Amino acid sequence: MSALDTFFAELEKQLGAGSVNRSEETIRRYGENTMAGGDKRPAGVVYPQSTADVQAIVRLANTMKVPLYPVSTGQNIGLGSRSAPREGQVVVDCGFKMNRILEIDEKLAFAVVEPGVSYQALYDELVRRGNKLMLDVTSGPPQGGMIGNALDKGAGYTPYFDHFGFSCGLEIVLGNGEILRTGDGALNSQTLANWHTSKYSFGPILDGLFAQSNYGIVTRMGVWLLPKPPAVRSFHFAFPEDSDLEQIIELARPLKMSNFVPTLFRLANDLYLCGSEGESPEYAASRGKKSISDEGRRALREKHGLGAWNLSGAFYGPSAAAIEPMIQRVIDHFGQIKNTKYIPHEDASQIGPLQVGINAFSGIPSYGELGLLKWRPGGGNLWFLPGTPMDGKIANEFQAICRGVYEEFGMDYMVMNVCGPRFARGLHVMTFNREDPDECARADACYRKMSEAVGERGVFVGRAPVDYHDFHMAQAMPSFRDACNGIKTALDPHNVIAPGRYGIG
C-alpha cells in the first residue's frame, strides 16, 4: 500500500464513511480550471465537517508528509477554481460539509460563517430575517465562498468593499494542527464578547498572515454587514472615446476623496460590458488570431447603448427623492466631458451589463458577468489584476500599454477599473479558446508580457491565477520572499498546506 493509500484509509477511519473521495470523476472535477496551462489533478478529496476534522487531517498529513490544498466553495473562476498550483495535492474541501451560518447579530451588524457559506446563502438568510442588513457581494459567482474570497483579497463595490478588511476574527488550523484565533479571539477564555467586533486587539495583528498565503486553514470568520438603506439609486455615464479615460479618472478622484459618492466607481470599457452578452462577432472570421476591430466595437456600443468607457456608482438615502440632488451633482460634474451620455437608474436596469452593477451596489448576488466566459469559445479565462494610482495621466498610459499587448497577441482588451479615492484596481479579463493550443500559448504570453510591462513601471498585481504564483513571487524583493518562507517554516514546518500557493513553500 502506498503512502497516499495509507493516508486516505487512516483518514476515513478517523472521520467516518463519506469523508474521502478518490473516484476518477471527482479527481477530474476538482482538477478543472480555466487556465491556459491545463488542469491540475489532485490525489483525492477529503470532506471535513468540523474544525476538529480539519485538525485531524492536518496532523495526519504532517505524520505522513502529504500535501494538502484547502478550498471553500472552489468558485475562484479565472484564478484557478478549485485546482491546486501543483498536481498530486489532496484537496481539503472545507465548504462541502462546513457550510453553516454560525451567527447573525442584527444589533451589531455582523455574521459568523464557515468556509462553505456563499454570498447567495448569506443573502438569502438576511432576506429571510427581514432584509434589515446588507452584505457586500462580488460580481462573480453567487455561489462563491465568502471566506475564500476574503482570504484571496477579493472585493465588492459598496462602502464595505474590502472583504478582508471588513472581516473580523478568524479561527485557523495552523500547519502543525494547532488552533489559532485572531483579534479578541486570542483571549484565553471560553467567553469572547468582542471576537467579531474588535478587529485589532492585544499584540501583533496576525490576521493578515492568512490572506493569500498557505500558513493555515481558516475554518471560521466574522463578516461585518451594512444596515440596509431604504433607497439605492445608481447613476451611469457612457463616454465615447478611449482617450476620455484620463479626464474620467481626474473627475472621479475628488468625489471619492471627499466620500461624496459612497460606493466605488465601476469604470468599464465597452468589451467588458458587451462581452457578457454573447460571443465575439468577429471571432470566427479570424479564428481568434486578431483582436476585435474598432468598427466591431462601435457596433456593439450602438447595439447595447454603451460607450467606449462606462462609469457607474450609487447613492444611499432615506428615499429616491432625497437622493436626487446628489444625482444631479454628478450629472453636472461628469457632464464636463464632451458628448457624455447620462443613463438614469431606471434605464440602466434594462441594460443587462449595467444591471449587474446595480445589483452589486445593492448587495444582491448575480450571475451577469459570468457571460464573459462565452465571449470566445473553449472556456479559457484568466484575470490580470494590477492597479494604478488615481491619476488620469498614469491610468491612460497603462491603458495604452495593456491595450497594445492584448492586440499584439490577438486578444480582446476587456477591463474594468474599480476606483477608490487614491487607487484603481484594473480587472483585466482574458477570454480565450482553451481547446486551441495556439490560443492558449498566446494567452499565456500576453499575461506574462503585461505583468512584466507594468512591473517595470512599479505596479504589482493584487491577485493572481494559480499558474502564475511562482512567476509573481519571483518579481518580489528577496527579503519579502525570505520573510514569507520563514513564516511558512514557523507555522507549517513540514510544508503540508498548499505548497506553492502564492509562491510560498
CATH number at residue 111: 3.30.465.10
Q: In which domain, by residue range, is 456 found? A: 231-465
Which residues, including other chains, have CB under 8 Å from residue 264's CB and lie 6 or more apart?
A: 157, 158, 161, 256, 313, 418, 419, 420
- DSSP annotation string for 251-302: HHHHHHHTTSS-SPEEEEEHHHHHGGGS--TTHHHHTTSSPPPHHHHHHHHH
CA–CA gap between residue 61 and residue 448 (Å, rounded): 34
- The reply to whether 161 and 287 lie within a common domain is no
Domain tally, the chain: 2
111 & 50 share domain: yes
Same domain flag for 108 and 252:
no
Whole-angstrom distance between the N-terminal and C-terminal Cα of the chain? 28
CB 77 within 8 A of CB 141: yes
How confident is the model at residue 1, as a pLDDT?
66
**Which residues 6+ apart lie within 8 Å of 428 measured at CB?**
383, 384, 385, 386, 402, 413, 414, 415, 450
Report the pLDDT value the prediction gives residue 177, as an integer from 0 to 100: 95
Residues 312 and 363 in one domain: yes
Residue-by-residue pLDDT tens, the chain, 505 positions:
688 999 999 999 999 999 999 999 999 999 999 999 999 999 999 999 999 999 999 999 999 999 999 999 999 999 999 999 999 999 999 999 999 999 999 999 999 999 999 999 999 999 999 999 999 999 889 999 999 999 999 999 999 999 999 999 999 999 999 999 999 999 999 899 999 999 899 999 999 999 999 999 999 999 999 999 999 999 999 999 999 999 999 999 999 999 999 999 999 999 999 999 999 999 999 999 999 999 999 999 999 999 999 999 999 999 999 999 999 999 999 999 999 999 999 999 999 999 999 999 999 999 888 889 999 999 999 999 999 999 999 999 999 999 999 999 999 999 999 999 999 999 999 999 999 999 999 999 999 999 999 999 999 999 999 999 999 999 999 999 999 999 999 999 999 999 999 999 9
Tell me the C-alpha distance between 102 and 112, whole Å.
Answer: 5
Q: What is the DSSP letter of 72?
A: S
Residue 111 phi/psi, 5-degree rounding, is -125, 160
- Are 260 and 405 contained in the same domain? yes
Strands (E), 33-109: 44-46, 68-71, 90-93, 101-105
- Same domain for 286 and 147? no
The CATH code of the domain that includes 383 is 3.40.462.10
Note whether 161 and 306 are same-domain residues: no
Edge-first strand listing for the sheet containing 90-93: 20-21, 44-46, 90-93, 68-71
pTM: 0.95
